[in-house]
Structures are given as structure tokens and as C-alpha cells.
Amino acid sequence: MKGLLERAQAYDKSDPLASHQSAFCLPPSIVYLDGNSLGPVSANAKHFLNECVEQQWQTDLIGSWNTHQWITMPQRVGASLAPLLGAEPHELISCDSISVNLFKLLSHIVNSCSERDTLLVQRGNFPTDNYVAQGLAQLTSGRITLKEVDTADLSRHLDTRVAAVVMSQVNYKTGERYDIADICEHAHRNGALVLCDLAHSAGVLKLDLHQLKVDFAVGCGYKFLNGGPGAPGFIYVAERHHNHLQPALTGWMGHRSPFDFEADYHPAHGVTGLLTGTPPILSMAALLGALKDFKGCAMENLEAKSHALGDFFLTALAELGIANQLTLITPTEHARRGAQLSFEHPEAYGLCQALIEAGVIGDFRAPRILRFGFSPLFLSFTNVLHAAEMLQRILASQSYRDAKYTERKAVT
Ligand SMILES: Cc1ncc(COP(=O)(O)O)c(C=O)c1O
């Protein structure tokens, strides 16, 4: 059998996505396995952002709301996302954070399902999802109850009292991917809706929200979509729900005619009615630029490469003789995993810091998880081999035990 380096080079040579790597502005000495947390900047994102600052804001000033169509940025970013998610352009809008967007959608669900009193939330979901649901339930003064259950038990808990299931498609810690189509089928059979968090899916997994029959979805722009720190998120609402959206957070940008400044709120039709305040144009410009990098990429190719990179990483760990020093907690089956691999190690924090100092950036999740994201647009198989080799070196030297690596920073 060929050596690991020869195989990595052969995979890189036949990689149909290899030409995309040069679009990203990563320091040459870095292997970036954290695109699942904050994607890197690309030349397109920088160009759109610079143009927005230097031409539109600096020169064209307030007129840019019309001349550069700033006012339709939320819809235009939404439309650019449509092919990545298997949705129609008018079913998507870009705005706010996942947390805020969840509140809007959940409040709509609660307002529109007066005969149902339960929200099923997924145990182990990213905390903000359940915090938002908790805050909303409190607002209803006891009318809505939350039931937190393991993902495997969600279907069993569906009954005529459940208004909606709130869940992530991919678990942020373990990288496990769940069968959304199955959950949607069970939920719909029981008259319930499904709200899916796509934070770890958008931009890297092949999605067809229509085929999956998801009712509502949210996601962020800063992970695999590479939209930049704090990039605006997005909302998906299946067209069949467009007629009666009743979010509890109603702002002027969601009004049917914001510039008439009417005294009373009348929502715009469809997803535009989920806008609230003034869109963050600079952030949206960067995200719109970043989305250009996906033009012409078939999502099945992105997902396949991400899985191939992850598989090669596992092969390298095994052949370098270190696989048994870490506990893989992500399912290896492609259908059951997202675009990251997570490992447990008793000293995961120090290990993560030592790797970062060696130029291999992954991340840590408490209490002992090391996460590596496999972004298909900018990573090569050679990068992945280098990361595995650095991990081998650090494990062998035990440098991760050094006090400088074990002191916790504010953001872990
Ligand atoms: C699954 C998931 N949902 C939500 C969030 C955070 O959402 P927000 O955009 O509100 O910060 C994250 C952040 O990493 C996440 O992984």
C-alpha cells in the first residue's frame, strides 16, 4: 500500500474542488479545522465588504439603500442560500442571529397552535435553542410546557399535545447527524411541526428541505458559509406556512410598507414579515460575497469531500498509531455524521491549545471534547495529514500538559 503522503497527494490531485482553495485567505502555515465554528475569509467576501465600505457607504452614502439595493439585502442573501438548502429563493431570508430567529419562529408556532400546549425540545441541543424555548414558555405563563427528550425518543413523545419539535440536524458536540425526514414524518402524522437548526449543516451537507418536509429552519452565516464573525443568520419557512406568520417580535422592516410609517403593524407576506430592524449591511455584504464561493458547487460534492477528508483523518490516526489515544464520539457512517469529527480526551483543552500553537486549529468543547471540522472548500488531504502528524507529535511529547496550554481563556 502507498504511504499516507502519497495517498494524500493522489487524493488532492483528483479532487474536483481543489481549485477553490486559492479563493480563501488563510495564513500558509495554518491548517484550519475550525470552519465549523468560524469559516475563514475569502477574496470574494473581502471584495464585497470593501466595495460596500469604500464605494457604497463612503461615496454613495444613504442613497445606497436604493442605488445598491441595500433594502433587499436580506432577500438577496436568502435567495443565494436557496440552492445550498434545496429551497425556493422566496422561502429564505437572512437576518439576526439563530437565537433571535428561533424566538420569532417559536412565538409564531405558539401563537398559531392554540389547541396544543407542548414543545418537544432535543436534549443536548446547542444551549441557546433550549434557552430561547424556555424564555418563550415563561412568557406564556404556563400555557406552553417544554418537554426535553433524547433525540432517539422524539418520535415516541409525539402526540396531539405537541405543537412542534425543535432540534438540530447535527449535534454541535458529537457531530452526529439525525434523520430529519423520519422526525418530520412522525411529527406531521401527529399534526406537529418541525423547526430545525441547520447551524452545522448549511454550506456543507446536501440538503433538500422540500424533500425532508421541514416546516421551519434557522441557521447561521459564520460557520461553513464563511460569512464572517457574527454574520447574520437565516430563516427558512416552507411556502405552505407563508400565509399566517404571527411572530411575537414585530418590527418595522417586517411591516408590509415600512416607509409609510403607519401607526399599526401589518406584516409583509411570507418570510419578509419575519424581519425586525435595520439589516446589518456590512455583515450582509461579506456574507453575500462568501456565498459567491459556492456558485457552481454541487452540494453532494461538498458533502462527499468533507466525509472523505474526515475518513482520511481517521485512517491517518490509525496508521500513525494514535487512534487508541483518543475516543471518537462521532458515528463513522456518513449518513449519521455531519462535517466534523469529535474526540474525547481527558486533557482535551491542553491538547487543543498545543495543536493551535503548532498551527493546527481545531476547537474544544467542555468538558473534554476536541472537535475538528472538515470544510471541503479550503482544505486539502495533505492539510489533514499534516494535522494528524502534528497531533501524533504532541501526544508523543505530552507537551499539552504544559501549564501554558491548560489555563482556560475567556472563549474556549
Ligand atoms: C447548533 C447551534 N445553534 C445555535 C448556535 C448559536 O446561535 P447564535 O447565532 O444565536 O449565536 C450555535 C453556535 O455555535 C450552534 O452551534
| Residue 409: per-residue pLDDT | 80
Q: Whole-angstrom Cα distance, residue 21 to residue 40?
A: 11
- Mean of pLDDT values over 177-198: 98
The residues spanned by each domain of the chain are 4-41+298-406, 49-292
Distances in Å between the alpha carbon of 305 and those of 38, 205, 226, 249, 375?
19, 10, 17, 40, 8
Residues in contact with ligand 1 by the CB-under-6-Å rule are: 97-99, 126, 128-129, 168, 172, 197, 199-200, 220, 233
Measured at the alpha carbon of residue 129, what is the angle toward residues 221 and 346, in degrees to the nearest 5?
90
Instruction: Give the lowest-confidence range in 26-30, 169-173, 288-292, 404-408.
Output: 404-408
How many angstroms is it from 196 CA to the middle of ligand 1? Answer: 12
* Residue 411 predicted with pLDDT over 80: no
Helix/strand/coil for 328: strand
By the 8 A CB rule, do 250 and 274 touch?
no
Residue-wise pLDDT tens digits, 4-55: 999 999 999 999 999 999 999 999 999 999 999 999 999 999 999 999 999 9
Helix/strand/coil for 218: strand
Q: Whole-angstrom Cα distance, residue 372 to residue 243?
A: 41
Q: For the chain, what is the mean pLDDT?
A: 97
What pairs with residue 148 in β-bridges? Answer: 121
- The per-residue DSSP string of 157-209 comes to G--TTEEEEEEESB-TTT-BB--HHHHHHHHHHTT-EEEEE-TTTTTTS---H
By the 8 A CB rule, do 84 and 202 touch?
yes
| Residue 81: per-residue pLDDT | 98
How many angstroms is it from 231 CA to the middle of ligand 1? Answer: 11
Residue-wise pLDDT tens digits, 191-236: 999 999 999 999 999 999 999 999 999 999 999 999 999 999 999 9
pTM for this structure?
A: 0.97
Most ligand 1 atoms within 8 A of CB, residue of 102, 126, 412 to mutate? 126
| Residue 376 burial (10 A CB sphere; 0-12, 13-18, 19+) | buried
By the 8 A CB rule, do 210 and 87 touch?
yes
Residue whose cell numbers read 500553537: 357
Region of 342 on the Ramachandran plot (φ > 0 left; ψ -120 to 50 alpha; else beta): beta
By the 8 A CB rule, do 31 and 359 touch?
yes
Q: Whole-angstrom Cα distance, residue 389 to residue 366?
A: 24
> What fold, for 49-292?
Aspartate Aminotransferase; domain 2 (3.40.640)
**DSSP code of residue 35:** T
Can you read off the three cell numbers belonging to residue 374?
472538515
Query: 4-41+298-406 and 49-292: same fold?
Result: no
Most ligand 1 atoms within 8 A of CB, residue of 121, 123, 129, 172 to mutate? 172
At position 57, the amino acid (one-letter code) is: W
How many angstroms is it from 316 CA to the middle of ligand 1? Answer: 31
How many angstroms is it from 102 CA to the middle of ligand 1? Answer: 10
Looking at the domain covering 4-41+298-406, what would its CATH class be?
alpha beta
Instruction: Give the lowest-confidence range in 145-149, 185-189, 404-408.
Output: 404-408
Residue-wise pLDDT tens digits, 66-76: 999 999 999 99
Sheet containing 340-344: order of strands: 327-328, 340-344, 369-373, 363-365
| Residue 64: per-residue pLDDT | 98
| Residue 269: per-residue pLDDT | 97
- Taking the alpha carbons at both ends of the chain, their separation in whole angstroms is 40
Most ligand 1 atoms within 8 A of CB, residue of 36, 94, 122, 128 to mutate? 128
- The per-residue DSSP string of 352-400 comes to HHHHHHTTEE-EEETTTEEEEE--TTT--HHHHHHHHHHHHHHHHHTGG
pLDDT band at 158 (very low <50, low <70, confident <90, very high): very high
